Structure 1
Amino acid sequence: MSLADQVLAVNNDLPIRTDKPVHSGKVRSVYWLTEEDSQRLIKEKGYNVKPDAPLAIMVISDRISAFDCIWHGEGGMKGVPGKGAALNAISNHWFKLFRDNGLADSHILDIPHPFIWIVQKAKPVMIEAICRQYITGSMWRSYEKGEREFCGIEVPEGLTRDQKLPELLITPSTKGILENVPGVPAVDDVNITRKNIEDNFAAFNFKSADDIAYYEKLLKEGFDVISGELEKLGQIFVDTKFEFGYVEDAQGNEKLIYMDEVGTPDSSRIWEESSYRDGKIVENSKEGFRQFLLNYFPDADILLNKDRMDERFALARDNELPESALMALSKTYTDIAEKVTGEKIVLSQNPKAEIVAILREQYGLID
């Protein structure tokens, strides 16, 4: 079996029973279950949600996205072997730790297979909640150009690249395009301040102004939980992105939960601590792949300049990356997942067939 066969690249064509369009993101696809199937599963499996809560099957893929593009490799490799299973395994591990530490629940109700989650519908908070413990990446590039204020927070003079910040910074940005919010441009992924959120909390889908402090608490405590665990593994948790949403439990109580994924090499930077002490950065996240792309193509500005998106999409479409680059990334993902979870990431021989069998036999979701 070739490596390309072990990659789940297309995940929006599964025969899961649904009466709505399949939503396909960069990495995950979402299949909304019929009302009948949602209610049956809630009853059969005893999920702690309202009896009529909409449920979905979320299927991860091995696709690799960077700089807003999907990349592919030689030999028909349309993704990175082991990536999907590694991402899910890491998220599952942190979500469980959050619950064990009394922080908050997640949107995940069930994990039938390493590639799939059964999730409840959440009303998302329209914020990409970014936490930074070190100055690097886009923040360093802006700092180097003279910027000293980030999302309304003043950062001191004299910082050097990749150094630890005096305190954990929350630098939120918008999730999606928000119209008619004073002081916030109607574009995706634009930086915002805490005051923007306070003044327009309902526009960001917060139920009350008090929930802003609660989301910050969940953010900081979640960051600390992951950071502490990674420290034990000789890793530094550099920065990450969290997402939140509201759901109702079986009793109809509304609660703020973690959603999307947490603490993964896709949503975070993770550095090798021993190398960092020696003055070198060894990335255990997708950041290493981003750096590879910046070095691989002669004109890195195409990848950094949002005014050149057409050229960027063409670059991703027309270039097969070396298999060695995708396999190096595969090792990064599976190694960090195995460190975090203490369990081996096993590559599926045929992920699609496995998913179909489980959802048919154990969940009755495929005719």
Structure 2
Amino acid sequence: MSLADKVLSVNNDLPIRTAQPVHSGKVRSVYWLTPEDSARLVADRGYNVTADAPLAIMVISDRISAFDCIWHGEGGLKGVPGKGAALNAISNHWFRLFRERGLADSHILEIPHPLVWIVQKARPVMIEAIARQYITGSMWRAYEKGEREFCGIAIPDGLQRDQKLPELLITPSTKGILEGIPGVPAVDDVNVTRGDLEANYAAFNFSSPADIDRYETLLREGFDVISAELAKLDQIFVDTKFEFGYVTDASGQEKLIYMDEVGTPDSSRIWDGPAWRNGRIVENSKEGFRQMLLNHFPDSDILLNKDRMAERQALARDNDLPEAVLMELSRTYVGIAERVIGDKLTISDNPKAEIIAVLRDEFGLVD
């Protein structure tokens, strides 16, 4: 079996029984189960959800996304070996710690395979909740140009690149295009302030103004849990993106939960501690891949300028990246995952066949 065969690059063609179109994102695909299958699993598996809760199968791929494009490599390599398993394993680990420490639940109900989650439908809060402990990346680029206010929060002069910030900053941005919110442009991924959230909490899908405090508390607590655990491995949790949503449990109680993924190399920057103390940045996250792309192509503005998206998509489509680049990224993902979970990562030789078998034989979801 070739290396390319071990990569799960297409994950929206599985024969999972569904009555709706498969939703395929940059990395994950979502199969909404039929009402009959959802109800059967709720009853048979004892999930803490209402009897009629819609359930889905979420399948992660090994695709690599950066700058809103999907990249590929030489030799038919359509993703990064082990990436999907690494992301799921890391998220599973942090979600479990959050539950054990009384923070909040997640949307995940069961994990039938290293690349698969069974999830409940959540009503998403329409913000990407960004927490920053160090000044780097886009925030540093803006700071260097003279900006001193981020999402309504003033930060002092005199900071240096990659320096630890005086406090953890919460800098939310919109998730999707939100219409009709005063002072908030109707474009995806635009920064918003705490005041914007408070004045328009329902437009952002919060159930109450008090839940803005709740989301900030869960964000800080989740960040602190991950940061402390990574510090034990001499790794620095630099910044991250959390997402939140609402679900209803079996008793009919609505609750705010963590959703999507948390603390992964895709959603976070993670730096090697010894290197940082010696004045170097060694990334244990996707950020290293982003930097490689910026250096790999002569005109890096194509990757940074949203007005040049057509050119950017052509770059991703027409360029086979060196296999060595994707294998180095594989070592980054698998390496940090194995350190976080404290065990070897299970990587499938034939992931698609394994997923089909377990969903057919144990869950009755494949005809």
TM-score by length of 2: 1.00
What is the CA-CA distance between 1:347 and the residue it aligns to?
2.0
The residue aligned with 2:126 is 126
Aligned amino acid, residue 116 of structure 1? V
The residue aligned with 2:15 is 15
Mapped partners of 2:87, 2:224: distance in 1: 20
- 8 Å Cα contact 2:6-2:81 kept in structure 1: yes
The residue aligned with 1:280 is 280
Aligned amino acid, residue 355 of structure 2? I
CA deviations over 1:264-284 (Å, ceiling 9, x no partner): 000000000000000000000
Mapped partners of 1:170, 1:96: distance in 2: 23
The residue aligned with 2:203 is 203
The residue aligned with 1:320 is 320
Mapped partners of 1:236, 1:308: distance in 2: 33
The residue aligned with 1:148 is 148
Mapped partners of 2:347, 2:361: distance in 1: 22
The residue correspondences of 1:86-125 to structure 2 (distance < 5 A) are: 86-125=86-125
The residue correspondences of 1:275-354 to structure 2 (distance < 5 A) are: 275-354=275-354
The residue aligned with 2:262 is 262
The residue aligned with 1:41 is 41
CA deviations over 1:175-226 (Å, ceiling 9, x no partner): 0000001110000000000000000000000000000000000000000000
Q: Spell out structure 1 runs of 4+ moving beyond 4 A.
A: none
The 3-state SS of whatever aligns with 1:169 is strand
The residue aligned with 2:223 is 223
Mapped partners of 2:87, 2:148: distance in 1: 34
Query: In the comparison of the two structures, how many residue pairs are matched?
Result: 367
The residue aligned with 1:74 is 74
Mapped partners of 1:114, 1:175: distance in 2: 27
- Let me know the Cα RMSD of the aligned residues: 0.3
Aligned amino acid, residue 215 of structure 1? Y
Query: Identity of aligned pairs, percent?
Result: 78
- 8 Å Cα contact 2:129-2:170 kept in structure 1: yes
Aligned amino acid, residue 268 of structure 2? S
What is the CA-CA distance between 1:327 and the residue it aligns to?
0.2
Mapped partners of 1:314, 1:269: distance in 2: 27
Aligned amino acid, residue 118 of structure 1? I
Mapped partners of 2:259, 2:61: distance in 1: 17
The residue aligned with 2:358 is 358
What is the CA-CA distance between 1:343 and the residue it aligns to?
1.5
The 3-state SS of whatever aligns with 1:104 is coil
CA deviations over 1:9-59 (Å, ceiling 9, x no partner): 000000000000000000000000000000000000000000000000000
The residue aligned with 1:56 is 56
The 3-state SS of whatever aligns with 1:226 is helix
The residue aligned with 1:184 is 184
What is the CA-CA distance between 1:346 and the residue it aligns to?
2.6
- 8 Å Cα contact 2:114-2:346 kept in structure 1: no
The 3-state SS of whatever aligns with 2:245 is strand
CA deviations over 1:81-122 (Å, ceiling 9, x no partner): 000000000000000000011000000000000000000000
Structure 1: which 5+ runs fail to align? none
CA deviations over 1:233-274 (Å, ceiling 9, x no partner): 010000000000000000000000000000000000000000
Mapped partners of 1:281, 1:172: distance in 2: 25
Mapped partners of 2:151, 2:347: distance in 1: 41
Aligned amino acid, residue 263 of structure 1? G
The residue aligned with 1:244 is 244
Mapped partners of 1:302, 1:218: distance in 2: 36
The 3-state SS of whatever aligns with 1:184 is coil
